[in-house]
């Protein structure tokens, strides 16, 4: 909507005015009822109230605007926005001043009720600088009612893996923010938990592929910013909703014979509520969502072929019963016209019990040789507190923000393991307790300039995660000896940045530099025999960013980008204690991992026309020291053929691609949007050494492979009260370290109808109708090969009802 409004205003304005000097008029548009900035208000310059428009723009997210002209004399600045009375302000442009600040301009709300006005326009998906894409959750009907990860599944350039991690342009190295800030709920640098966060109270999701220096340097693929809904009306208002769903309706592959099998036709109950009370000085809000469900988060079939002729197949059906609560609340207090305090908190509590019976079948004989039965009980959560102080200087847009944040996270995981084979009949138990403490202090400063603005700031972040690991071994225990019973990880970051934006009529330049000093330690128990010493390292790095945007015309923009970013391994990637859901395909971390660094070069172009738009981008990433899981045979156990999946740095790689976003209104009732990402993924050859559980080499073969993914989204508006969305997703085969991932596809359908005078919404959503979004990978290791298939729950039908007041 923002870009379309700009286009309409500029088209009306006609040719630029001629004059000797560039003149700037700035101000900030506020809602008189609550003194909040009004975003996307129309601002035009006229010779008088009835004359033709000479110049125009729209206000930004904070209500700030800048007009530019080249003539002097008497003018009228006219500000307007839907639902408010129009404001006319007289301005005299004299001969001795080229910068005019109108200060705060207040618009009065009109008397008619807001719900009586229908707005059919949509905000622009891509901003003017081509640096940010914004997607409203109201437009994701086919994926509504589920988690954040499920809601993002159909967004262009986004894919979801079996762990619920989001991939941007093929990479899972993504930083996820909540309302522009890091939080315990989504992770600090390393994304976490998106497949468990309900999407009911989320307003929109922003994707920033080339972040500026004001953002933390973590996340080579970019940043995902999850924006929660925030009510701007005075008084008491809110919404309440309930969604019922069923998952895993059909079977992709028949289960191997066990007593329990896998969960199917899994019920889901998702209530949500959002409450808000606002006065001119105080705003309080509370949002709550609950998920109670049965789920199949993993359904892993692994077929292994060994060089000695052994061939086995196993299945791990992870049957989950889960309860998840998310509460988000806060209070905003306007101390005076230029000072405000904002306190916010997030409480995230998740409790689940997973059960699986895992058969191991010898393919040469067709007989089951092992039966592994486990039960996991896990409680995780985060408590996040944040206090912000905002000071607005007299000049509109001139702001200082100071913030302090504390996060306490917890993980309490117990595994009860039962092993049945000719070798042993015994039980084992493991118990992990991890507690996270994160404290951060930030300061951000914004100074508007004649032709742009200056941004600067600093941040200090201190994190520690101590872990205890208790083991109760049974007879002939399969749990490794010599692990120790504790570890302690910590990471301290001190950062400072400066970012300058120069805005001209025909071009923009943005350049920034972020400096970060990072100190990391990982202490392990002296009883650990696999890693001989603790690990600690420090590094100082600079992370530059550059953006150059050419405003070719009102309909055409071209941008060039460069940035450098880092991805730091977090405690889960470093953790030395194995996960025993599949003891013959054992997942474990690596305490000696190092960060990976990425340089990205990109050229982006956007063109808009009356009924649509197109966005084209070509990008190239250079990745230094990437880390990923490596498959390797563990020969330390003479009784079982074990394959370890260990995190390891693997040398280097590149990623070169083209992204295309096309939006076109076919008919008044039909809008078609497509997104395609075509890229070449190069994994360079690398030879390294694994230390766990024995020292041995591993090899990564050089591979180069072109792959692509395509998303087609059809939106149908049937008379203003009913909307239908049909989405198709296809992800072509691609190369991965040590192998190849095969194709995936999904078709999603959503129907939404407004009821009760548009105060209610009834939504039916059916994701992955044909159950084709599971993951299949072909792995080639030293002396073995494997076919890994994970047909986790992707097929879900949901019926939701929401009421707003």
Reported as a single tens digit per residue, the pLDDT across 765-784 is 999 999 999 999 999 988 99
Greater confidence, 796 or 85?
Answer: 796
| Weakest-pLDDT range from 13-27, 42-56, 652-666 | 13-27
pLDDT of residue 397: 78
CA distances from 278 to 122, 236, 275, 285, 333 (A): 26, 7, 10, 8, 10
Q: How confident is the model at residue 11 (pLDDT cuts 50, 70, 90)?
A: very low
* Token reading at 77: 């600045």
Name the pLDDT band for 224 (thresholds 50, 70, 90).
Answer: confident
- Give the pLDDT band of residue 174 (cuts 50, 70, 90): confident
Q: Which of 582, 514, 203, 230 is nearest to 372 (CA)?
A: 582
* pLDDT tens readout for residues 280-307: 899 999 999 999 999 999 999 999 999 9
Assess whether pLDDT exceeds 80 at residue 557.
yes
Residue 116 pLDDT: 32
For residue 64, pLDDT over 80 is answered with yes
| Reported confidence tier of residue 729, pLDDT bands at 50, 70, 90 | very high
pLDDT at 124: 53
Indicate if 235-804 has the same CATH topology as 2-112. Answer: no
Residue whose token pair is 């020969």: 635
User: Does residue 127 surpass a pLDDT of 50?
Assistant: yes
Taking the C-alpha atoms of residue 39 and residue 61, their distance in angstroms, rounded to an integer, is: 5
CATH topology of domain 133-228: Ferric Hydroxamate Uptake Protein; Chain A, domain 1 (2.170.130)
Question: DSSP for 393-442?
Answer: -SSTT-EEEEEEEEEEEEEEEEEEEEEEESS-EEEEEEEEEEEEEEEEEE
Mean pLDDT is lowest, of 74-83, 368-377, 423-432, 785-794, for 74-83
CATH of domain 2-112: 2.60.40.10
Report whether 462 contacts 420 (CB < 8 A).
Answer: no
Q: Model confidence over 581-639: pLDDT tens digits?
A: 899 989 999 999 999 999 999 999 999 888 899 999 999 999 999 999 898 999 888 88
Under 8 Å between Cβ of 207 and 132: yes
User: How far apart (Å, rounded) are the C-alpha atoms in residues 153 and 141?
Assistant: 12
| pLDDT-above-70 percentage for the chain | 92
338 CB-near residues (< 8 Å, 6+ apart): 391, 392, 393, 394
Residues 6+ apart with CB under 8 A from 526: 484
pLDDT, position 500: 95
- What letter would DSSP give residue 17? P
Domain ranges of the chain: 2-112, 133-228, 235-804
629, 647 contact by CB (below 8 A): yes
Q: Among 351-360, 409-418, 619-628, 636-645, which is the least confidently predicted range?
A: 636-645
Q: Which of 36, 22, 6 is nearest to 104 (CA)?
A: 36
What CATH number has the domain spanning 235-804?
2.40.170.20
Structure tokens at 82: 């839907």
Residue 719: partners with Cβ closer than 8 Å, 6 or more residues away: none
Contact 576, 528 (CB under 8 A): yes
Q: Can you tell me the mean pLDDT for 518-523?
A: 95
Average pLDDT, integer, range 99-128: 60
Closest CA to 626 of 56, 172, 28, 11: 172
For the ranges 74-83, 558-567, 787-796, which has the lowest average pLDDT? 74-83
Q: Residue 117: which pLDDT band, with cuts at 50, 70 and 90?
A: very low
């Amino acid at each position: 909507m923002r870009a379309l409004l700009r286009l309409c205003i500029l088209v009306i304005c006609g040719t630029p005015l001629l004059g000797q000097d560039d003149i700037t008029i700035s101000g900030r548009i506020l809602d008189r009822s609550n003194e909040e900035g009004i975003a996307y208000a129309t601002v035009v310059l006229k010779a008088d109230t009835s004359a033709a428009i000479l110049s125009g723009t729209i206000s930004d997210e904070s209500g700030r605007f800048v007009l530019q002209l080249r003539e002097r004399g008497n003018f009228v600045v006219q500000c307007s926005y839907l639902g408010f009375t129009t404001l006319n302000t007289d301005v005299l442009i004299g001969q001795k001043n080229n910068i005019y600040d109108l200060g705060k301009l207040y618009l009065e709300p009109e008397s008619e009720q807001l719900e009586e006005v229908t707005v059919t326009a949509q905000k622009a998906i891509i901003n003017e600088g081509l640096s940010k894409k914004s997607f409203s959750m109201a437009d994701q009907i086919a994926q509504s009612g589920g988690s954040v990860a499920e809601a993002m599944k159909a967004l262009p350039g986004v894919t979801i893996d079996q762990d619920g991690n989001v991939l941007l342009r093929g990479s899972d190295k993504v930083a996820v923010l909540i309302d522009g800030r890091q939080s315990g709920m989504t992770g600090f640098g390393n994304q976490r938990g998106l497949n468990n966060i309900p999407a009911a109270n989320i307003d929109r999701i922003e994707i920033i592929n080339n972040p500026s220096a004001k953002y933390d340097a973590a996340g080579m693929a970019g940043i995902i910013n999850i924006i929660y809904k925030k009510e701007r009306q005075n008084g008491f208002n809110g919404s309440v909703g309930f969604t019922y769903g069923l998952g895993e309706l059909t079977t992709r592959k028949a289960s191997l014979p066990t007593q329990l099998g896998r969960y199917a036709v899994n019920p889901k109950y998702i209530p949500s509520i959002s409450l808000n009370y606002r006065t001119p000085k105080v705003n309080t809000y509370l949002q709550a969502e609950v998920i109670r469900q049965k789920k199949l988060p993993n359904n892993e079939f692994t077929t292994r072929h060994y060089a000695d002729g052994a061939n086995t197949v196993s299945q791990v059906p992870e049957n989950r019963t889960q309860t998840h609560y998310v509460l988000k609340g806060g209070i905003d207090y306007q101390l005076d016209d230029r000072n405000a305090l904002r306190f916010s908190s997030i409480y995230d509590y998740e409790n689940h019990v997973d059960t699986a019976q895992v058969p191991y079948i010898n393919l040469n004989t067709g007989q089951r040789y092992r039966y592994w039965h486990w039960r996991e009980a896990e409680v995780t959560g985060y408590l996040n507190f944040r206090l912000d102080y905002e000071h607005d200087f007299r000049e509109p847009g001139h702001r200082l923000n100071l913030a302090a944040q504390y996060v306490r996270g917890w993980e309490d995981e117990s595994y009860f393991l039962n092993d049945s084979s000719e070798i042993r009949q015994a039980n084992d138990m493991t118990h992990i307790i991890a507690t996270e403490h994160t404290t951060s202090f930030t300061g951000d400063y914004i100074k508007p300039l004649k032709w742009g603005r200056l941004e600067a700031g600093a941040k200090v972040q201190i994190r520690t995660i101590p872990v205890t690991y208790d083991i109760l071994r049974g007879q002939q225990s399969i749990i490794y000896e010599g692990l120790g019973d504790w570890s302690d990880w910590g990471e301290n970051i001190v950062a400072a940045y400066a970012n300058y934006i120069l805005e001209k009529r025909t071009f923009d330049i943005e350049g920034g530099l972020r400096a970060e000093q990072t100190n990391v330690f990982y202490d392990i128990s002296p009883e650990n025999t696999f890693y001989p010493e603790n690990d600690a390292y420090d590094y100082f790095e600079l992370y530059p960013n550059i953006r150059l945007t050419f405003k070719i015309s009102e309909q055409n923009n071209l941008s060039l980008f460069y940035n450098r970013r880092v991805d730091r391994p977090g405690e889960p990637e470093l953790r030395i204690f194995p996960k025993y859901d599949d003891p013959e395909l054992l997942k474990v971390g690596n305490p000696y991992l190092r960060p990976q660094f990425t340089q990205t070069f990109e050229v982006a172009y956007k063109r808009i026309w009356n009924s649509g738009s197109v966005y084209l981008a070509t990008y190239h990433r250079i990745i230094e020291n990437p880390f990923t899981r490596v498959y390797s045979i563990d020969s330390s156990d003479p009784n079982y053929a074990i394959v370890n999946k260990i995190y390891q740095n693997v040398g280097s790689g590149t990623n070169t691609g083209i992204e295309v976003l096309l939006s076109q209104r076919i008919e008044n009732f039909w809008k078609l949007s497509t997104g395609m990402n075509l890229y070449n993924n190069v994994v360079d050859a690398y030879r390294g050494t694994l230390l766990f559980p024995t020292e041995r080499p591993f090899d990564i073969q050089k591979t180069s492979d072109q792959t692509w993914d395509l998303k087609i989204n059809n939106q149908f508006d049937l008379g203003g009260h009913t909307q239908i969305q049909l989405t198709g997703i296809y992800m072509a085969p691609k190369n991965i370290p040590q192998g190849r991932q095969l194709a995936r596809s999904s078709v999603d359908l959503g129907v939404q109808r407004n009821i009760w005078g548009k105060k209610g919404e009834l939504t039916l959503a059916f994701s992955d109708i044909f159950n084709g979004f599971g993951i299949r990978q072909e792995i080639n290791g030293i002396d073995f090969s494997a076919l890994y298939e994970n047909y986790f729950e992707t097929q879900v039908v949901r019926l939701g009802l929401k009421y707003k007041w």
